[in-house]
Structures are given as structure tokens and as C-alpha cells.
Structure 1
Amino acid sequence: MKVPKSTKTLNNILIICSLFLSHGLLAQDVAIKKKDQAHIDSLKSTPYPYFLPIYGDRVQKLGHDLPLPFGIMVNYVGQETRLDITNMQLSFDGSEFVPMEFIQFDTVKNTAHVVNVRADAWIFPFWNVYALYARTQSSNNIELISPFEFEIPTEPTADTYGMGTVLAYGSGNYFAVANFNAAWSHISSLNEPVFGTVTSFRVGRSFGFRKRYHNINLSIGLQHQYLARNSTGSLPLKDVFSRFDQAKLQEIKDEIGDAAHNWYDDLRPSQKIIVDKLVTEIDNWLAGRTPGDAKLGYRFDKEPLGSVSLQLGVQYNHGKSWWYRMETGIGRGRVQILLSANYRFGL
């Protein structure tokens, strides 16, 4: 009997789809192993037990094994990023922002410790979607280098919400995975959420053990991180001043008023107003008078030294349900390590 052309096309598509494999945040992947004939026959004769992925039943009847369709993953990410702060603007207690281009900072080193949770599902054998939540604790060593020098240590926290998608392809023991996610971070030191994306592509090879579904996957790839440049925030002046001892505040005040330093004379009137108000508040603070609810507003651009990193990863699959991964990333102005545990299940 002649097989309709449409049926042949669908079967060809399903054979290709069956080679697509699982992937986690920042690339979790499992390569297809060669199956013995008995196992293939068993797959063909066993009904597919889950409602996802779509066409999962047809793929299994073709003799191809599929990973479990749902997953919950917990990741730890440690990252050090270097970035420049430019286009600084200040406002005093709700006034209009004033460009303060004479204020210059040294390159900032940001150290972040991130714990994120991700839930995912395979919609098709080659297409995964996921949602994520992350909690970040970071520290910044911000150093003002002009018009005078002092350090501002900060330890902001962030809650991040996002979503992403994965496309994966495998052939034999080799695989390729593309990942994209978008997220919004609510940072304690900023007024507006910060938007960012992560895009990555990896290729790798799987090395199997004698026991089925136990294997190690090695991967190499590139990752691009994008972070929105503009940031806006505000701090109560009493919180700003409390970060410095009395001697340092007195030194800043004397620096501004010292006739030997003529940077103040070159300021525009709007800039002098901001500086004068800050000096007045420093005087009040040194005299024991608190600034009440007055706030210092700030707006600036942040420019990472680099946005692309080389990613090297190793993953151990302990059966179909538990996967463990370690990955490191190295790029200009960026170092990263990821530790991951992924539990997979079917419904």
C-alpha cells in the first residue's frame, strides 16, 4: 500500500524532533545514546504515559526515548562583573536631575550571589519553555575619583522574575542547544526594575555509562548578557551620611570649600545649587542636626566592560529524574560559576 506523502513528511519531522533533548537554565542538556534493539522494541510497543510534549506518543512509537517533560531546577550562580558608571545626574529632595559630568568613578567591581528556581516544560520534543525566580545578594565597591576621592560600599539585594525558551538538537552522542531568557530585577537601591536578557549557544558530547540514563555531558559555548544601561534611584540623606564617619564628612566639606581646589568655580549654576545644598546638609549633620526625610536622587548609565563569555560545562545525569551540572564562564570583565540540580518528572 502506498504511504501518503503527508504521512511520510510528518514521520520525518517526528524523527528529527525525537533527537531534540532536554536543557536547563544557562544550558542543561542530555544527549541521545544508542539504544539496544530490545529497548527500542519496548518503546515502540509501550503507550506514551504523559500528555507533553506534543507528539510525544508518536515519537516514542518510532523507537525514540524522550526525557521527562517537566522539571524543577535550583541553581546557584556566583558572578563577578566589572562595569563603568557614566552620565551621572543628581537631584536634591525631588528637584529636577542635574548632569554632574565632573563626577567620575573608577571601574566598579560587582560581586553577586544568586539563587534561582526554575520550572520548565517541553511543549514539543525540541522546544522547552520556562519561568524563573531569583534572589540576589550583591556587593559593590564604588570609588569616586573626581573631583575628590572616597569609597561608597553598597550591598543591594534584588528579586528577579523572568521567562525563557530553549531549542535543542541532538544526533548520536552530539548535541546543540540554544537558550534565551528575559528577566526584570527589582533592585533595592533603584526605583525602577532593571531589564536584562541572557542568550547562549552550546555544543557538546555525551559519554554514557553501562547503566541506562547515567551519563556525563561536556559542553562548550558562548553566552551574551544584556543589561539595561539606565538606572535611577534615591537614598535618604541620613542613610548616605551614616555610611561615613565624622572625619570623612568634614574632609569632603573642606575639600569643596578649599580655595586650592578650583573645580567648584567651574561648575554651572544648577550644579552649584546641588553642591551647596549637600554642603549645608553635611554641616547640619556634623552639628548633630539630621536631614529628616530629604533624599538624594541619582541617575546614571552602567556599561559592563564585556557582555560575552566563553562557557565550559559538565553535567552528570543520574537516571531520568536527577541531573547535576557545573558550568564556568570567562569573559572580558566577567567571571561566573554555576551549580545546578534539576529534578524531572512526568504528568
Structure 2
Amino acid sequence: MSIDKARYQGFSFTINYRHICTVNLVDEFFDPSSSIGTVNAESYTLRADVNILPFWNVYGVLGKVNVDAVVDAQYTGKMKDVFEDKLGVVGGKLACKAVASQGVDLCSPAEVSVPLHLNYDVVGLGTTLSVGYKEFFASVTATYSQTRLEGQDDWGDGVLSIQPMLGYQFLDYRAQVFIGAEYQGLKPKMTGNLGYIDALGRDFTYDVGVELEEWAYLVGFNKQIGKNYNITALFNKGETRSSFTINFGYRF
């Protein structure tokens, strides 16, 4: 495989730690105002950059993402109404008791804690447009990526991320500070299986939508260290989500 040296700009290796919290769950069986998910994600990526024009950069990303999450979902106890609708008031109460005797109380409100540990492969493409005036700059970065759970053949739905930013450069310190916003377009959900329930005659499965506000504010800084290293920190805050990201990069 050959590389066009006139257009090749370089490769970078990135370790990215991201903490996300306050993710609302939306479903008749769960109370979205009291249900949150806390996610810790660590990624290792290789990124190849090409500067098409001085103000236009295009890049590709390949890497791994390790996710540790705890979803604390506030269960409403709505299965009591389902049992009573199908079996009557007396039959519904008996069904609730039968389910509870198996160690699964579906008829009373409760908090359900669901721990998750997932490993993903990730690929993506992105581009950055930027302009500057003296020490001030503005940029827009868009990235489209897809993930695949390890051991699976199918790739998940794509995620589009857009970050418009305004910033200031401290030239003597090789550092930048910036403010802006982040858009995330994705279709998140939480699915699972509580196992076989005799009263239902089948497994109790759930498919719960996760409500994420698409836009969030962001602030951050970037610092170059020597010729090859850089560190970036970002804080995002939206109505239904917040996150803190630390990015450590090495450029070959």
C-alpha cells in the first residue's frame, strides 16, 4: 500500500476518557424524571488526517471503546394494571403474588439497577472547517461514526456529532481555550430480559427509549506538549445529559 506524501498529514494515537450522566429513560414502565444512567467510556483510537485546504481538514478514525455503565431506572409498577386488565382485580392480585414469590416484584414501584460492561469496535469519518483572526478562531467539526459490539457481525446505527466552537489562542503557551456547543444525533435505547415469569407464561422483556437532548453547551481547552503530545479537556452540559472528556493524543 502506498501513501501520497504530498497529501498525507499524519497519524495520531488518542486515549479518550468520557464520563456521561443524567440520561433520562422514557417508557410507561419507567419514570423518566427519576431514572438516570451513568456511563464511563474509555476509547483508544488511531486517527489519520489530511489537510485538503489550509482551512479544511478531513480525517478517519479507527479504534476500540470500553464502556462501564450503571442504569438506575425507576420502575413504576405498571405491570399490576396489566395483570388486572387481563385477569381481573382478583386474578391480577394473585398474579402479582405469584410473580413476587419467584423473587421478582413487578407490581410495586422500585429502582432497578442495571450494570453493563461492553466493548466496541469503532470506525468513523470526520471533517473540520476553521477560520482565524489574530489570536481568535472559529471552527466546526463533524464526525460520523459507527460501533460494533465485540463478537457481533452487525454494525450499530451511526452517530453524527457536530461541534461549532469559538476560541482564543495563547501563542506563547501553545494553548487554546474555547466555548461552543455539541450536537449528537443518535437513536439510543435500553433493552433486556428479566427471565421467565410463570404468571405471564413467557419471558418479561423490556425495550426502553433513552431521551437525550440533541444539543449541549461545551467549554474546554487544548494544550500542546512538545512536538508530539497534546491534551484536551471538554465539559458538556445539556438539559438531559452532561459529560466530561479528557483526551490525550500522540502524533507520529
User: TM-score, normalization: structure 1?
Assistant: 0.54
Give the corresponding residue for 2:140: 177
- Mapped to 1, the partners of 2:67 and 2:165 lie a distance apart of 25
- Aligned counterpart for 1:123 among listed residues 47, 50, 63: 50
Q: Any stretches of 5+ residues in structure 1 without a counterpart?
A: 1-49, 57-67, 87-100, 238-273, 279-293
- Aligned counterpart for 1:154 among listed residues 107, 114, 117: 114
Q: Report the structure number with the largest CA radius of gyration.
A: 1
Q: Is the 8 Å Cα contact of residues 144 and 158 (structure 2) preserved in structure 1?
A: no
Q: Taking structure 1 as reference, are residues 104 and 169 closer, same or farther at Cα in structure 2, changes over 3 Å only? A: closer
Give the corresponding residue for 1:299: 207
Q: Deviations over 1:308-330 (max 9, x none)?
A: 11110111111231001111111
Alignment partner of 1:277: what SS?
coil
Shift of 1:307: 2.1
Q: Is the 8 Å Cα contact of residues 124 and 146 (structure 2) preserved in structure 1?
A: yes
- Aligned counterpart for 1:165 among listed residues 120, 126, 143: 126
Q: Is the 8 Å Cα contact of residues 223 and 230 (structure 2) preserved in structure 1?
A: yes
Structure number having the greater helix percentage: 1
User: TM-score, normalization: structure 2?
Assistant: 0.72
- Aligned counterpart for 1:77 among listed residues 6, 18, 21: 18
Give the corresponding residue for 1:140: 71
Q: Is the 8 Å Cα contact of residues 71 and 119 (structure 1) preserved in structure 2?
A: yes
Q: Taking structure 1 as reference, are residues 104 and 324 closer, same or farther at Cα in structure 2, changes over 3 Å only? A: closer
Q: Taking structure 1 as reference, are residues 132 and 179 closer, same or farther at Cα in structure 2, changes over 3 Å only? A: farther
Q: Deviations over 1:176-224 (max 9, x none)?
A: 2313232235399xx9946533222222121122xxxx51111111101
Structure number having the greater strand percentage: 2
CA RMSD of aligned residues (A): 2.9
Give the corresponding residue for 1:36: none
- Greater RCO between the two (CA within 8 Å, min separation 6)? 1
Q: Any stretches of 5+ residues in structure 2 without a counterpart?
A: 79-107
- Mapped to 2, the partners of 1:308 and 1:187 lie a distance apart of 29
Structure 1 residue 226 and structure 2 residue 177: aligned? no
Q: Is the 8 Å Cα contact of residues 192 and 232 (structure 1) preserved in structure 2?
A: no
Q: Taking structure 1 as reference, are residues 163 and 276 closer, same or farther at Cα in structure 2, changes over 3 Å only? A: same
- Mapped to 1, the partners of 2:157 and 2:115 lie a distance apart of 16
- Mapped to 2, the partners of 1:233 and 1:195 lie a distance apart of 21
- Mapped to 2, the partners of 1:80 and 1:104 lie a distance apart of 17
Give the corresponding residue for 1:257: none
- Aligned counterpart for 1:206 among listed residues 169, 173, 192: 169
- Mapped to 1, the partners of 2:32 and 2:70 lie a distance apart of 15
Identity level (%): 14
Q: Taking structure 1 as reference, are residues 70 and 229 closer, same or farther at Cα in structure 2, changes over 3 Å only? A: closer
Shift of 1:128: 2.2
Shift of 1:225: 1.6
Shift of 1:130: 1.9
Q: Taking structure 1 as reference, are residues 116 and 303 closer, same or farther at Cα in structure 2, changes over 3 Å only? A: same
